[in-house]
């Protein structure tokens, strides 16, 4: 068996396996019911913003440029070459911009009198957007900071997390993507990998909570490939620059790769129940996280 692709659920590639009947004791919850219950738990972590009136509160969620949505349709490339413009505004005044491309962090502020959003970056730069229209699921802005008059339409699901730490797009859950200024110890590299897996765990949970029809890993740095019921290592020659860019240098990135390889090639308990491949992958990811 290929060492780089040791983890997989053998039945995941056969549709018939999804329709197997389960044997369960009287009163025991079926795997399907258990999966539904888990989805419900994730869904309850979200706050519906449909009835909110405050502009500042409506802004506190993820926004994706409608014109860029095709970039992630049936595209799982880990190197986001096509632009996918997005903002993720948190209630603690932090934001993440364009996490599927060249991710940026900072703090944001809303000016009610001017109806503007200011994005302040740690390096000292800033962006200024004028709000032309806003609802729970639609945001139209003009990049007035560069003198543009073009209206940009961003869309959302109209929901945000009750607990910001559960949002995969919160700043705290993306610090692993910021390269250190000096070489790291093996334990620090391992923690960076653990934070990476934590991001993907939250990403999978977010997919379940929002009940999305499709899931795309487009633009996210990784040394892992995701399949329907399978988790594999990316071949060394296919590692993208945005992955190695998460570390001090390429040597440290390869050290991280070897550490992750030892985790991925271990044996894990794969669910044989009637649940989605996303849920099955998530359960194994959680086991991998615990072993790092």
Same-domain check for residues 168 and 37: yes
Same-domain check for residues 262 and 152: no
Q: Which residue has the tokens 């502009």?
A: 55
Domain interval for residue 65: 49-161
**Rounded mean pLDDT, 84-105:** 97
Same-domain check for residues 143 and 232: no
Same-domain check for residues 170 and 104: no
Q: Of 119, 137, 161, which residue sits at a domain end?
A: 161
Neighbour-count burial of 190, counting CB atoms closer than 10 A to its CB (0-12 exposed, 13-18 middle, 19+ buried): middle
3-state secondary structure the chain: CCHHHCEECHHHHCHHHHHCCCCCCCCCCCHHHHHHHHHHHHHCCEEECCCCCCHHHHHCCEEEEHHHHHHHCCCCCCCCCCCCCEEEECCCCEEEECCCCCCEEEEEEEECCCCEEEEECCCCCEEEEEEEEECCCEEEEECHHHCCCCEEEEECCCEEECCHHHCCCCHHHCHHHCCCCCCCCHHHHHHHHHHHHHHHHHHHHHHHHHCCCCCCCCCCCCCEEEECCEEEECCHHHCCHHHHCCCCCHHHHHHHHHHHHHHHCCCCCCCCCCCCHHHHHHHHHHHHHHHC
pLDDT tens-digit series, residues 100-131:
999 999 999 999 999 999 999 998 999 999 99
pLDDT at 29: 36
pLDDT at 36: 58
**Rounded mean pLDDT, 265-269:** 93
Same-domain check for residues 26 and 93: no
Same-domain check for residues 231 and 210: yes
Instruction: Give me the number of domains the chain comprises.
Output: 2
Same-domain check for residues 114 and 167: no
- The tokens for 145 are 């900071």
Same-domain check for residues 102 and 145: yes
Least confident of 55-59, 121-125, 213-217: 213-217
The pLDDT > 90 percentage for the chain reads 74
């Amino acid at each position: 068996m290929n060492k780089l692709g040791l983890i997989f659920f053998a039945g995941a590639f056969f549709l018939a396996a999804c329709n197997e009947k389960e044997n369960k004791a009287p009163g025991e919850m079926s795997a399907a019911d258990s999966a539904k219950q888990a989805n419900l738990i994730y869904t309850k972590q979200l706050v519906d913003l449909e009835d909110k009136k405050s502009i500042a509160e409506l802004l506190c969620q993820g926004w994706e440029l409608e014109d860029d949505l095709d970039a992630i349709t049936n595209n799982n490339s880990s190197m986001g070459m096509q632009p996918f413009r997005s903002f993720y505004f948190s209630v603690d005044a932090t934001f993440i911009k364009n996490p599927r491309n060249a991710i940026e962090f900072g703090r944001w502020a809303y000016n009610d009198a001017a109806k503007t959003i200011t994005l302040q970056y740690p390096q000292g730069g800033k962006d200024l957007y004028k709000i032309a229209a806003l609802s729970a699921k639609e945001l139209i802005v003009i990049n007035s900071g560069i003198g543009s008059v073009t209206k940009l339409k961003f869309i959302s699901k109209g929901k945000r997390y009750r607990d910001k730490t559960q949002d995969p797009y919160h700043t705290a859950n993306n610090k692993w993507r910021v390269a250190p200024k000096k070489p790291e110890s093996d334990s620090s590299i391992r923690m960076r990998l653990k934070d990476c897996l934590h991001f993907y765990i939250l990403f999978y949970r977010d997919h379940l909570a929002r009940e999305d029809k499709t899931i795309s890993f487009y633009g996210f740095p990784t040394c892992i490939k995701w399949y329907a019921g399978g988790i594999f290592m990316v071949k060394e020659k296919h590692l993208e620059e945005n992955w190695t860019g998460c570390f001090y240098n390429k040597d440290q990135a390869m050290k991280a790769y070897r550490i992750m390889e030892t985790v991925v090639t271990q044996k894990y308990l794969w669910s044989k129940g009637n649940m989605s491949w996303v849920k099955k992958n998530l359960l194994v990811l959680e086991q991998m996280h615990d072993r790092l």
